[in-house]
Chains A and B, each alone.
Chain A
């Protein structure tokens, strides 16, 4: 049993406990700011952070190993449990990889539905991030306001996919079912609601002077560092790295769509915040282009009952709400993959936290963690 004074005066011999005079605190695995079971060992000098050491493994379920015993139709649903906020997009990446291996042509209607669902998921994920991040830095009200819009998306998902969070709607060759007859009407309703409410976000947070001061010049990540840490998604784009998979390696019909890749150059928390806010508007733009132009046709390609990927290695990547999500399958020609590796965006983004946090205050850490948009099962898998 250490007294406070013992740790302050003597420290400990363990290397993770730092030098004498350091104050070491454990943020997590149960902590209000970590949104899950992330464990950060933080070495402090007063209020100033000297070192942040993430300890992982509290929610490691060996999903990659599990997938090796599941067939190519079955393993897709497990990936919903990784980054549960963009489960559609994870499933999409897996379906793409299997389709690449099997050389399945996905009907155009299925492609459009997939893209629509992806963008709805992206908005839902960013809505939740917006509320949760606001809660991290002490504003409670935005959380409920964000959930109002997110609830509308969840209802759309429930209508079409039958579930609100872990939809399992993507199958190799298309989507599991056709869209609900009221899908278009409801999506248009959501767009109207979103457009009428998105200005409130600026009133509640974006323009707020306290918020700006909490975010500006906090957790600065330079362009070089963002690349060297392997950051992707809004985190890298906030540092000025152009890395949107939808633009660089277009999949489905993204190359035919008119949207912008959002890039902010400041690299601080405010830049990452602005990237996500503006991305939501771009997603709405994509949905608006597609919602009235869903082509007729099949929603699923004809596939064999048992899928067997040819011998070889297959990789596909998509842009989730958090960054680049990659699926790497090694096939031996059997019905189950020989080896699967998921490249999850959260893991790389988290690795930049220590670099960003050094020298800033403890209160800044939650702002940084908020704008990194960490989803712990995505990091641990």
Chain B
């Protein structure tokens, strides 16, 4: 079976033959960094185009169709436009924090790339607390938003940032609890362990009721955490013009924009890994022949297929629903999602202890 890990292994061996282990590690880090940055750029271009096409078709429009065949270079053209635009810093802004905020947003998104398994044995860093690392690092995202909102010296930005703070902090709870469901069932925080545990079926099928509930809550919570509609209160354009990035322009705005899309990709990748088996092909119990056929599809295609399915789901939400109000948003979390996920984790624990899952 063709797989990406052969390439990475070859590079690893070659570097270790040529250089001392320390230098080899440094080169590997540089290569990984370059890969992550190019993946970022690719994701930004693809996801923006995808969002525009999805929204257009749902809104009975054609969407971008002028730049390149069927408009596929539209997001590239937009990027060039944003690159050549002036990156303004308002007069009354806190210059340091204002310019730092977009980079923090990007760095957080980059850090989150580390534990994600893109294909079989193709992972930057398979650390033993992978899931905890993801929840911990993604919380830093709120700092960049608060920083941007406060440093802009704009009341709309400040309100957007404060909303976002309240929103992300509360939705992290139910996102964490739904992740915990899988951790309880698997018995490990390590991403590779979680994926390997799904070799005989994905958790969403194996874990039945508690995992399905956890999956639904996870999708809702990450939609809120990434500030996507219907939870886009941080930038609610009809209320706060553009929320926390009202004052940003040019490439600094583009970095926020890119970070939003990359965050969507990351949370969907985590969701695909935890609930839909990551790169694991669709395996059903003891159907050896079926499983064997499924193994012929490369693992990276399985991973990206599942991830993009979840991204499409989140885009589908965005272009269908109206926005919630801030108090309704917090009500939804504290009165509905959190009690349900707390009850659900008890259920999941019972299922795990009694071995009621498949």
Are A138 and B230 closer than 8 Å at their CB atoms? yes
A32 to B241, CA, bound (A): 6
Are A32 and B238 closer than 8 Å at their CB atoms? yes
Stretch at the interface among A59-67, A208-216, A282-290: A208-216
Are B323 and A141 closer than 8 Å at their CB atoms? no
Q: Nearest CB to that of B155 among chain A residues?
A: A25
Within 8 A of B (CB), among A12-39: 23-25, 31-33
A210 to B323, CA, bound (A): 7
Are B322 and A214 closer than 8 Å at their CB atoms? yes
Chain B residues contacting A208 (CB-CB under 8 Å) are 321-322
Indicate which residue in A24, A138, A148, A204 contacts B236 across the interface (CB closer than 8 Å): A138
Are A363 and B320 closer than 8 Å at their CB atoms? no
Are B59 and A140 closer than 8 Å at their CB atoms? yes
A156 within 8 A of B: no
Task: Give the shortest distance, in Å, between B240 (CB) and chain A (any CB).
Answer: 8
Q: Nearest CB to that of B55 among chain A residues?
A: A140
Interface size of A as a range: 35 or more
Contact string against B for A residues 359-378, beta-carbon threshold 8 Å, 1 for contact and 0 otherwise: 00111111000000000000
Task: Give the shortest distance, in Å, between A87 (CB) and chain B (any CB).
Answer: 26
Chain A residues contacting B59 (CB-CB under 8 Å) are 140-141, 143-145
Are A141 and B328 closer than 8 Å at their CB atoms? no
With contacts A32-B237, A140-B59, A204-B320 taken as known, whether A363 is within 8 angstroms of B326 at the C-beta atoms is yes
A137 within 8 A of B: yes
A204 to B323, CA, bound (A): 13
Contact string against B for A residues 128-171, beta-carbon threshold 8 Å, 1 for contact and 0 otherwise: 00000011111111011100100000000000000000000000
Give the one of A33, A134, A148 with max B CB within 10 A.
A33
Chain B residues contacting A364 (CB-CB under 8 Å) are 325
Question: Do most interface residues of chain A lie in helix, strand or loop, or is the interface mixed?
Answer: helix
Chain B residues contacting A140 (CB-CB under 8 Å) are 55, 59, 319
Indicate which residue in B58, B156, B232, B328 contacts A213 across the interface (CB closer than 8 Å): B328
| Count of A-B contacts judged by CB separation below 8 Å | 96
With contacts A25-B156, A47-B159, A141-B59 taken as known, whether A363 is within 8 angstroms of B325 at the C-beta atoms is yes
Task: Give the shortest distance, in Å, between B234 (CB) and chain A (any CB).
Answer: 12
Contact string against B for A residues 89-107, beta-carbon threshold 8 Å, 1 for contact and 0 otherwise: 0000000000000000000
Are A1 and B159 closer than 8 Å at their CB atoms? no
Give the one of B92, B159, B239, B322 with max A CB within 10 A.
B322
Are B60 and A148 closer than 8 Å at their CB atoms? yes
A256 within 8 A of B: no
A192 within 8 A of B: no
A379 to B323, CA, bound (A): 28
Task: Give the shortest distance, in Å, between B154 (CB) and chain A (any CB).
Answer: 8
Are B319 and A141 closer than 8 Å at their CB atoms? yes
A205 within 8 A of B: yes
B91 within 8 A of A: yes
A4 within 8 A of B: yes
A1 to B154, CA, bound (A): 11
Q: How many residues of B contact A (CB 8 A)?
A: 35
Task: Give the shortest distance, in Å, between B249 (CB) and chain A (any CB).
Answer: 16
Chain B residues contacting A135 (CB-CB under 8 Å) are 238
Within 8 A of B (CB), among A214-259: 214
With contacts A47-B159, A138-B323 taken as known, whether A4 is within 8 angstroms of B239 at the C-beta atoms is no
A361 to B240, CA, bound (A): 13
Chain B residues contacting A4 (CB-CB under 8 Å) are 150, 153-155, 158
Task: Give the shortest distance, in Å, between A304 (CB) and chain B (any CB).
Answer: 50
A24 to B320, CA, bound (A): 33
A4 to B59, CA, bound (A): 39
Chain B residues contacting A33 (CB-CB under 8 Å) are 238-239
Are B322 and A365 closer than 8 Å at their CB atoms? no
Chain B residues contacting A148 (CB-CB under 8 Å) are 60
Indicate which residue in B240, B319, B322 contacts A137 across the interface (CB closer than 8 Å): B322
B229 within 8 A of A: yes
4 nearest A-B pairs in the assembled complex, by CB-CB distance:
A138-B323, A139-B322, A144-B59, A363-B325
Interface residues of B, Cβ cutoff 8 Å to A: 55, 58-61, 91-92, 150, 153-156, 158-159, 163, 229-230, 232-233, 236-241, 319-328
Interface residues of A, Cβ cutoff 8 Å to B: 1-4, 7, 23-25, 31-33, 47, 134-141, 143-145, 148, 204-205, 208, 210-211, 213-214, 361-366
19 further interface pairs, Cβ-Cβ under 8 Å (given A2-B92, A23-B155, A137-B322): A1-B91, A25-B155, A47-B159, A47-B327, A135-B238, A137-B238, A138-B229, A138-B238, A139-B323, A145-B59, A205-B322, A210-B324, A210-B328, A213-B324, A214-B324, A361-B326, A362-B326, A363-B236, A366-B238
Can you identify 30 A-B contacts, CB atoms within 8 angstroms? Answer: A4-B158, A31-B241, A32-B237, A33-B239, A134-B322, A137-B322, A138-B229, A138-B230, A138-B321, A138-B323, A139-B323, A140-B59, A141-B55, A143-B59, A145-B59, A148-B60, A204-B320, A208-B321, A210-B230, A210-B321, A210-B324, A213-B324, A214-B323, A361-B326, A362-B159, A363-B233, A363-B325, A363-B326, A364-B325, A366-B238
